[in-house]
Amino acid sequence: MDAIGVDIGGTKIAAGVVDEAGTVLSQVRLDTDPDNPGAIEAAVISAVAQLRRTHTVGAVGVAAAGFVSPRRDAVLFAPNIAWRDHPLRERLAAGIDLPIVVENDANAAGWAEFRFGRARAVEDMVMLTVGTGLGGALVLGGRLLRGAHGAAGEIGHMQVVPGGHYCGCGHEGCWEMYGSGRALTRSARAAAVAYPDRAGALLELAGDKKIQGPHVTAAAQAGDPLAIELFAQLGFWLGVGIADLAAAVDPEMAVVGGGVAAAGDLLLEPIRASFARHLSARGYRGELTIELAELENEAGIVGAADLARN
Amino acid sequence: MDAIGVDIGGTKIAAGVVDEAGTVLSQVRLDTDPDNPGAIEAAVISAVAQLRRTHTVGAVGVAAAGFVSPRRDAVLFAPNIAWRDHPLRERLAAGIDLPIVVENDANAAGWAEFRFGRARAVEDMVMLTVGTGLGGALVLGGRLLRGAHGAAGEIGHMQVVPGGHYCGCGHEGCWEMYGSGRALTRSARAAAVAYPDRAGALLELAGDKKIQGPHVTAAAQAGDPLAIELFAQLGFWLGVGIADLAAAVDPEMAVVGGGVAAAGDLLLEPIRASFARHLSARGYRGELTIELAELENEAGIVGAADLARN
Amino acid sequence: MDAIGVDIGGTKIAAGVVDEAGTVLSQVRLDTDPDNPGAIEAAVISAVAQLRRTHTVGAVGVAAAGFVSPRRDAVLFAPNIAWRDHPLRERLAAGIDLPIVVENDANAAGWAEFRFGRARAVEDMVMLTVGTGLGGALVLGGRLLRGAHGAAGEIGHMQVVPGGHYCGCGHEGCWEMYGSGRALTRSARAAAVAYPDRAGALLELAGDKKIQGPHVTAAAQAGDPLAIELFAQLGFWLGVGIADLAAAVDPEMAVVGGGVAAAGDLLLEPIRASFARHLSARGYRGELTIELAELENEAGIVGAADLARN
Amino acid sequence: MDAIGVDIGGTKIAAGVVDEAGTVLSQVRLDTDPDNPGAIEAAVISAVAQLRRTHTVGAVGVAAAGFVSPRRDAVLFAPNIAWRDHPLRERLAAGIDLPIVVENDANAAGWAEFRFGRARAVEDMVMLTVGTGLGGALVLGGRLLRGAHGAAGEIGHMQVVPGGHYCGCGHEGCWEMYGSGRALTRSARAAAVAYPDRAGALLELAGDKKIQGPHVTAAAQAGDPLAIELFAQLGFWLGVGIADLAAAVDPEMAVVGGGVAAAGDLLLEPIRASFARHLSARGYRGELTIELAELENEAGIVGAADLARN
């Protein structure tokens, strides 16, 4: 049975028809206004209707950033959209006469990698979505872990540095502040202040604007020592946290995705090295492998559709 | 069906017949020599035979500290006994003609709390065994999490302080070094050096020996400010780590057991306060409760027996 | 001999005639534009001329934030004014026919406390100026410590937390990020996000604006638990750093001044408690006292004048 | 005028006649018992008498580990000898009819480097004695800094890691725990547990004993990657603390001595790299140089003699 997956971002939605092999058969994208929840819902309903004109589907999965209720019908809190205890399924059901499932976007992406992507051969995996922030998903024993309150996988808010950088959540030292695109950008800007003599390549790429993540990636790929070091730091902290997850839930694979993962080995190698340095009892226990995600922008659509189907 | 649970400690084993309600019907204890694996196995076989003289049982569960193979037949590494890749099930099967399951001791204790103890009404829980070290077990969706390599629940080796206290595992800043009986004892001894003016009660209790954990508990129960502060520190770090676990796996309950938990509210209250301080997005998500374990010394026996039965 | 002290701030200058007892006999204040160095110099020259119409003075001391050359004639780097390797003395000498001395503003304030304020009875002191940032001055053996490169007393940039909050200097974990008005404000804002249930008083005081330092002071003085806790954290970190300074240079007194010190005991008591917790070998060595500054806004003028006179 | 310097160690004393150029003209060494203060004093008196048979001297300087009173006549606390508020000068004066000065041993060594060694051309320096522990001395404006209570230069007890390794002083995270021979040895042993696959060279050198500092030095000199990394870590932390001292007192030179400094560039290069990484406002201010000490075992004798002479 085919299903529709919808990925609701801060300023746009993407919806697609996904078959049982995880292939996206058709897709639409619409711009939305994060301050207008009603308009977002209308856009989702419209996108689904549009796709159904040419495809027969059996369910709709909707992925969004934020905390989703354990029954997967409501968004408890969304960081980018004005949703608080928002009954999203009920609202959408007014315009969609199909079973609807709401899921956290990182969970959807992780599920897609588990079912159809890099981790399709394993039973236990953790997904790290390294974008602006750091999202996560855990699949254990072949099941997506949702947690008792629907909040599992918020790995970006595990504390890695007591007294460390302030997170947007109001706490200090969250992993996200050390292992995300935001961390990379901020470290690069700080390095440009602290080590202006070493930041020439970055400053040139940025021109008269602030340094952004893609500048660091470009400089690192061109061999700039400071940019390479910044990726090494990012990888260091990602490796620390993966070792923590290995100690707690012992998965078979950690999949690294998200926009920053486009840097490839520049990021992956330092993660692996740091993980090997931090895993306790290494050599006396089996250990996970760390791999790049396969699916890219479509992971949210694919995972949401598949979760709705099952 | 009744089953036998065996808890193999460093210097003794305890074995008991456990019924389907988790009640220990009969029990034997034997001293053992941690440097003589053969003698330990003989003791287990002997204890099982002794119990079977008066009870009919269908399976034997064996719990031991260390890493257990995913198939639950071998001990990969034990911290206190000279076992390395040790085929424990096979060795025991030479003298026991029943199905045998090997399990990590903290996992067994956590399972017992989940099935028959404090967490019997929940589906998702994490168990913290705060003894000399810090052991853990995760039950998610009603299933004990073993991990892809049998090493799940080694929560004591999650890093909480970069550059922090050395752990016996060779790494710095492991949670166990901040949230265990060893941490309590070491902090107490350090405080006696750093603040001799405040350590009078502790030093008096210790007499001409070194301060031990029970001295701290006794002093705290008698109202000694420094001892109470030491428990508050211990609880602080346990709360930090529980908040990390809540972010990652979002259980419904955290159960605190082990010898140090005998301090009761002296420990529990600071844990709860610290957890509330460290949980990200508190108020926007459901959150776990933190409770003391119900089962005591028998948890390992009860859990091992029940795991073998199923 | 009377002397003139000039305190150059980011947006205004204050100048005063100071007698040998440290009394300000007359004072003028002028607004200035931090982006127009020439105008600042003209304002200083004008203020000095104005004061000299009614007073006879023998020297002029000029205090400014930033690094001052060892010969005290140039500003190497100023954080708030567009000065880089700026020959300030030479520029001012074009309009002032008196000996001129340039000094760092925190040094001037510390010297004033040493000569005429709280520390007038001691020979060895450290001054902490807890304003927006954290400035410092050391007087050792009765002499202001300028350092081999004129940069002594930059205590706000000692690292107290590896991997900690980013400082404007580009480094992580600088003391200033934990022991300053900026730290207080930022912690308050973070607490309002992390603990909205406890931040009612602060949020009410702030109204529809962001929480500012004075809101925290007002709330703490009114007994608000969160605000008191925020001052306790601030004091904690100030105490940590004072203990570090005690280990290194062992002064007789630490004087705490700057705008945040207006909170008085709300700040002082936690500093003292933290210092007592962190001083190594306490009880086996003499230890400094920690006191509030006596001189207030005029400290910079008084100190600069006195340094120029001698 | 020639003078005698005496260096009192835990298990032996060394005494020598030192001329005004810092040359040791004659020397004696005696074994002592740290638990017998009377015998130590008798040994010092005997050594001085022996040297005076062939040399005419004008003063005696005595250096010992521990806190020395501001008047330099008593040892307030010694870590290795049973001295508490011990009137050492008075006891020695019973057998020595010359002016006697008591000084902390790291201060004596630092003074020797300042007067006759690596730092003889500078006015402001900090000495780091990297032996088993981490001692220090500050010379500012050509004067040895003793501090208001005689306890200046205890830099090894500045905190560099909150919640870090326990120090013998009872506090956590002291610099000494990261920048000393003890730190090197402990890190090496931990690495051998955490990374047995990388510790082959170290374990072979240690044979059936525990790894010691000289094993790490030997392995590093032979190119062993793990040993080189351990020195890099040690240098990293020494650089962090030197940057802190530069922020506070801005010396012209940091001199690195003590037994571990025998490793030379293996230690010095990582210190310099780390210092450059951690110094705030680098490029906008002058900065110190970091050099190896010149005087070796005789530094304590030379410094004590010279301090007594002046």
User: How close D81 gets to chain C, by Cα (Å)?
Assistant: 14
> Using CA atoms, how far apart are residues C13 and C52, in angstroms rounded to an integer?
16
Predicted confidence (pLDDT) at residue B5 exceeds the cutoff of 90: yes
Of the residues B159, B275, B282, B284, the best mutation for testing chain C's interface (the one with the most C CB atoms within 10 Å of its CB) is B282
Contact between residue A257 and residue A129 where contact means Cβ atoms under 8 Å apart: yes
Of the residues D178, D285, D289, D290, the best mutation for testing chain C's interface (the one with the most C CB atoms within 10 Å of its CB) is D285
Q: Average pLDDT of D138-147?
A: 97
Phi/psi-derived region of residue A263, left when phi > 0, alpha when psi is between -120 and 50, beta in every other case: alpha
Tens digits of residue pLDDT in A280-299: 999 889 999 999 999 988 99
Percent of all residues in chain A with a pLDDT value above 70, rounded to a whole number: 100
**All domains in chain B, ordered by first residue:** 3-112+298-309 (3.30.420.40), 122-292 (3.30.420.40)
pLDDT of residue A201: 97
3-state secondary structure of A149: coil
> Using CA atoms, how far apart are residues B17 and B53, in angstroms rounded to an integer?
11
- Across the interface, of B143, B159, B243, the residue whose CB is closest to A244 is B159
Asked if B84 has any chain D CB less than 8 Å from its own CB, the reply is no
Chains in contact with D, where contact requires at least 3 CB pairs less than 8 Å apart: A, B, C
Contact A165 C166 (CB under 8 A): yes
Chain C contacts of A202, Cβ < 8 Å? none
- Across the interface, of C162, C178, C191, the residue whose CB is closest to A170 is C191
> Using CA atoms, how far apart are residues B296 and A172, in angstroms rounded to an integer?
36
H helices, E strands: number in chain D: 9, 13
> Using CA atoms, how far apart are residues A260 and A130, in angstroms rounded to an integer?
6
Asked if D203 has any chain C CB less than 8 Å from its own CB, the reply is no
Task: Tell me the pLDDT band of D296, cut-offs 50, 70 and 90.
Answer: confident
Predicted confidence (pLDDT) at residue B135 exceeds the cutoff of 90: yes
Chain A contacts of B158, Cβ < 8 Å? 244, 247-248
Chain B contacts of A250, Cβ < 8 Å? 145-154
Chain C contacts of A169, Cβ < 8 Å? 193-194
pLDDT of residue C34: 81
Chain C contacts of D119, Cβ < 8 Å? none
pLDDT of residue A37: 83
ipTM, 2 decimals? 0.95
Tens digits of residue pLDDT in B171-205: 999 999 999 999 999 999 999 999 999 999 999 99
Of the residues A107, A284, A289, the best mutation for testing chain B's interface (the one with the most B CB atoms within 10 Å of its CB) is A284
Tens digits of residue pLDDT in B44-78: 999 999 999 999 999 999 999 999 999 999 999 88
Contact between residue D310 and residue D7 where contact means Cβ atoms under 8 Å apart: no
Predicted confidence (pLDDT) at residue B81 exceeds the cutoff of 90: no
User: How close C151 gets to chain D, by Cα (Å)?
Assistant: 6
User: How close C196 gets to chain B, by Cα (Å)?
Assistant: 8
User: How close B206 gets to chain A, by Cα (Å)?
Assistant: 33
- Across the interface, of B162, B195, B283, the residue whose CB is closest to C196 is B283
User: How close B216 gets to chain C, by Cα (Å)?
Assistant: 19
> Using CA atoms, how far apart are residues D245 and C138, in angstroms rounded to an integer?
13
Predicted confidence (pLDDT) at residue C283 exceeds the cutoff of 90: no
Task: Tell me the pLDDT band of C38, cut-offs 50, 70 and 90.
Answer: confident
The whole-model pTM stands at 0.95
Asked if B283 has any chain C CB less than 8 Å from its own CB, the reply is yes
Tens digits of residue pLDDT in D58-74: 999 999 999 999 999 99
Chain C contacts of A157, Cβ < 8 Å? none
Task: Tell me the pLDDT band of C84, cut-offs 50, 70 and 90.
Answer: confident
Contact C249 D247 (CB under 8 A): no
Contact A281 B67 (CB under 8 A): yes
Average pLDDT, chain D: 95
Tens digits of residue pLDDT in C101-126: 999 999 999 999 999 999 999 999 99
Chain D contacts of C239, Cβ < 8 Å? none
Contact A76 B149 (CB under 8 A): no
Contact D190 B172 (CB under 8 A): yes
Asked if A197 has any chain D CB less than 8 Å from its own CB, the reply is yes
pLDDT of residue B294: 96
pLDDT of residue C220: 97
Predicted confidence (pLDDT) at residue B121 exceeds the cutoff of 90: yes
**Of chain B residues 172-191, which have a CB less than 8 A from chain A?**
174
**Of chain D residues 218-257, which have a CB less than 8 A from chain A?**
none
User: How close A285 gets to chain B, by Cα (Å)?
Assistant: 7
Of the residues D177, D284, D287, the best mutation for testing chain C's interface (the one with the most C CB atoms within 10 Å of its CB) is D284
Chain A contacts of D197, Cβ < 8 Å? 283
DSSP E strands in D201-267: the ranges are 253-257
Chains in contact with B, where contact requires at least 3 CB pairs less than 8 Å apart: A, C, D
Q: H/E element holding C136?
A: strand C134-140
Percent of all residues in chain C with a pLDDT value above 90, rounded to a whole number: 91
Predicted confidence (pLDDT) at residue C10 exceeds the cutoff of 90: no
Contact between residue A243 and residue A280 where contact means Cβ atoms under 8 Å apart: yes
Chain A contacts of B156, Cβ < 8 Å? 247
Phi, psi of D268, deg, nearest 5 = -65, -40
Tokens representing C193? 């996000």
* Nearest chain C residue to B164, by CA: C162
pLDDT of residue A15: 98
Provide CB contacts within 8 A for D307, sequence distance 6+.
D61, D101, D103, D107, D108, D111, D144
Tens digits of residue pLDDT in C169-190: 999 999 999 999 999 999 999 9
- Out of B204-213, C85-94, D70-79, D217-226, least confident range: D70-79
Predicted confidence (pLDDT) at residue C310 exceeds the cutoff of 90: no
Q: Average pLDDT of D120-128?
A: 98
* Nearest chain D residue to C246, by CA: D152
Average pLDDT, chain A: 95
Contact C165 A164 (CB under 8 A): yes
Asked if B282 has any chain C CB less than 8 Å from its own CB, the reply is yes
Task: Tell me the β-bridge partners of A242.
Answer: none
Q: Average pLDDT of C228-255?
A: 98
Tens digits of residue pLDDT in A133-167: 999 999 999 999 999 999 999 999 999 999 999 99
Secondary structure (H, E, C), chain D = CCEEEEEECCCEEEEEEECCCCCEEEEEEEECCCCCHHHHHHHHHHHHHHHHCCCCCCCEEEEECCEECCCCCCEEECCCCCCEEECHHHHHHCCCCCCEEEEEHHHHHHHHHHHHCCCCCCCCEEEEEECCCEEEEEEECCEECCCCCCCCCCHHHCECCCCECECCCCCECEHHHCCCHHHHHHHHHHHHHHCHHHCHHHHHHHCCCCCCHHHHHHHHHCCCHHHHHHHHHHHHHHHHHHHHHHHHHCCCEEEEECHHHHHCHHHHHHHHHHHHHHCCCCCCCCCCEEEECCCCCCHHHHHHHHHHHC
Predicted confidence (pLDDT) at residue B206 exceeds the cutoff of 90: yes
